[in-house]
Amino acid sequence: MPRYYTRVCNFYYGQKSKILVKKNKSLPLHNIKELSFDQIEIITRNSKKKIFINQVKKLPTQLQKKINFDLKKIISTKKSFCNLKFNSIPNVLGILNLTPDSFSDGGKFNKKDKGIKQAINLFNSGASVIDIGGESTRPGSKAISENLEWRRINKIVKILSKKVPVSLDTRKSTIMKKGIKLGVMIINDVSGLEYDPETVNVLKNFKTPFILQHSQGRPESMQNKPSYKNELLDIYDFFEKKIRYLRSIGINHNKIIIDPGIGFGKNLKHNMNLIKNISIFHSLGFPILVGNSRKRFIKDISRENDSKLRIGGTVASSIYLMTQGVQILRIHDVNEIMQSIKVYKEIIKD
């Protein structure tokens, strides 16, 4: 029997979704009546087929069991944690880069007063958590020492963790440990816990919630002709294998967020396929985060209409991701994204 993957699709959002759920014509994603679906796409390495959910019972017995197992995870309620509430509006992870060389705002907020002010502004604009990073991991960037990374962030982390929920964007176990002791609530490791072998022990010992991101290669060279057999299924398999390993070493909590890593070892085709088919990751059973803010794919698509801030492309992709049930967006321009979500919801309200 080939390996099957379940992708929920044909989503409904808002009042229309509520009506269909009430009539049992669609299933609510994570028990959210405002966001539902009535089709699934059954995918293998060699084929894909869309069916309506009421046709699942006509499938062969073994495949039916597999699909129903996935659907159980897809419709189950996601419990809130770390100020993240899972409903029809995505949480926003507000980005605070305390670096001189991040790809879009390097050097803009890396002074203490400016950094703290920006973090408070992001939180007041609607960010659920502020994601603080002291090392740039943009394509072409080079690793820095632990001492330098810690000097960049420690004073701001110490102050902000007492004021707002904070996540820490780092690949290094020593930085993680220090940050957690200062009150950091979530660890965001862009390497998928691959960079430093000690990170899993820190997360296990402190029982800290974390973001598990997929990344192919290191930042220094990850955009040098990235390749996959099938980026969507390869990345799904990466998460499945990694979660199985984490369970085996004793990390049993469900406060784990998965991030397919847009732009981290992916070209435009890879990124677009991941965004278009993002709903496949719901069958893993964990909240999904997407870092779409100001990313290179916006420039690649818009070309002569590109701008440094890329707010238009960020808004467009954020609304699409919201309607696919993505629970968390990692965003620079929090006010603009929250504004666009509120306007979209009002337009489709009736």
Residue 114: which pLDDT band, with cuts at 50, 70 and 90? confident
What CA–CA distance (Å, rounded) separates 238 from 141? 24
Asked if residue 221 and residue 125 are part of one domain, the reply reads yes
In a domain, 262, yes or no: yes
Average pLDDT, the chain: 93
Q: Provide the H-helix boundaries in 47-198.
A: 61-75, 112-124, 146-160, 173-181
Do the Cβ atoms of 165 and 130 come closer than 8 Å?
A: yes
Of 11-20, 131-140, 156-165, 232-241, the range with the lowest mean pLDDT is 131-140
DSSP assignment, residue 288? B
Of 124-133, 210-219, 337-346, the range with the lowest mean pLDDT is 210-219
What CA–CA distance (Å, rounded) separates 39 from 343? 27
Do the Cβ atoms of 11 and 279 come closer than 8 Å?
A: yes
Asked if residue 172 and residue 25 are part of one domain, the reply reads no
Mean pLDDT, residues 197-204: 97
Which tokens is 152 given? Answer: 């960049």
In a domain, 243, yes or no: yes
In a domain, 207, yes or no: yes
What CA–CA distance (Å, rounded) separates 161 from 23? 45
Pairing of strands 289-290, 48-52: unpaired
Q: How many CB atoms lie within 10 A of CB 27?
A: 18
Residue 349: which pLDDT band, with cuts at 50, 70 and 90? confident
pLDDT in tens, 268-296: 999 999 999 999 999 999 999 999 999 99
Just list the catalytic residues: 295, 330
What CA–CA distance (Å, rounded) separates 118 from 97? 10
Domain extent for 60: 5-75
pLDDT in tens, 147-182: 999 999 999 999 999 999 999 999 999 999 999 999
Residue 309: which pLDDT band, with cuts at 50, 70 and 90? confident
Pairing of strands 256-259, 210-213: parallel
Q: What is the distance, to the nearest Å, from the Cα of residue 186 to the centroid of all Cα atoms in its chain?
A: 13
Do the Cβ atoms of 333 and 309 come closer than 8 Å?
A: yes
Place of tokens 């059954």: 42
Q: Is 142 helix (H, G, I), strand (E, B) or coil?
A: coil
What CA–CA distance (Å, rounded) separates 101 from 141? 8
Residue 104: which pLDDT band, with cuts at 50, 70 and 90? low
Asked if residue 343 and residue 280 are part of one domain, the reply reads yes
With 0-12 / 13-18 / 19 or more C-beta atoms within 10 angstroms meaning exposed / middle / buried, residue 346 is: exposed
Of 150-164, 210-224, 253-267, the range with the lowest mean pLDDT is 210-224
Answer whether residue 222 shows pLDDT above 70: no
Confidence (pLDDT) at 221? 65
Which tokens is 343 given? Answer: 């306007």
With 0-12 / 13-18 / 19 or more C-beta atoms within 10 angstroms meaning exposed / middle / buried, residue 308 is: exposed
Asked if residue 113 and residue 29 are part of one domain, the reply reads no
Asked if residue 14 and residue 150 are part of one domain, the reply reads no
Confidence (pLDDT) at 85? 96
In a domain, 81, yes or no: no
What CA–CA distance (Å, rounded) separates 121 from 292? 20
Confidence (pLDDT) at 81? 97
What CA–CA distance (Å, rounded) separates 149 from 134? 5
Pairing of strands 166-169, 129-133: parallel
3-state helix vs strand vs coil in the chain, percent to 5? 40, 20, 40
Q: Domain total for the chain?
A: 2
Beta-carbon contacts of residue 205 (< 8 Å; ≥ 6 apart): none
Do the Cβ atoms of 128 and 137 come closer than 8 Å?
A: no
Asked if residue 105 and residue 253 are part of one domain, the reply reads yes
Query: Half-sphere exposure of residue 329, counting CA atoms within 13 Å on the CB side?
Result: 33
Pairwise pLDDT comparison (166 vs 304), residue with the higher score: 166
Confidence (pLDDT) at 214? 96
Helix (H) or strand (E) holding 51: strand 48-52
Domain boundary (23, 50, 75) is at: 75
Beta-carbon contacts of residue 66 (< 8 Å; ≥ 6 apart): 4, 6
What CA–CA distance (Å, rounded) separates 205 from 175? 15
CATH number at residue 318: 3.20.20.20
Angle between helix 311-323 and 268-276 (nearest 10): 40
Asked if residue 175 and residue 33 are part of one domain, the reply reads no
Confidence (pLDDT) at 44? 97
Asked if residue 182 and residue 38 are part of one domain, the reply reads no
Mean pLDDT, residues 125-136: 94
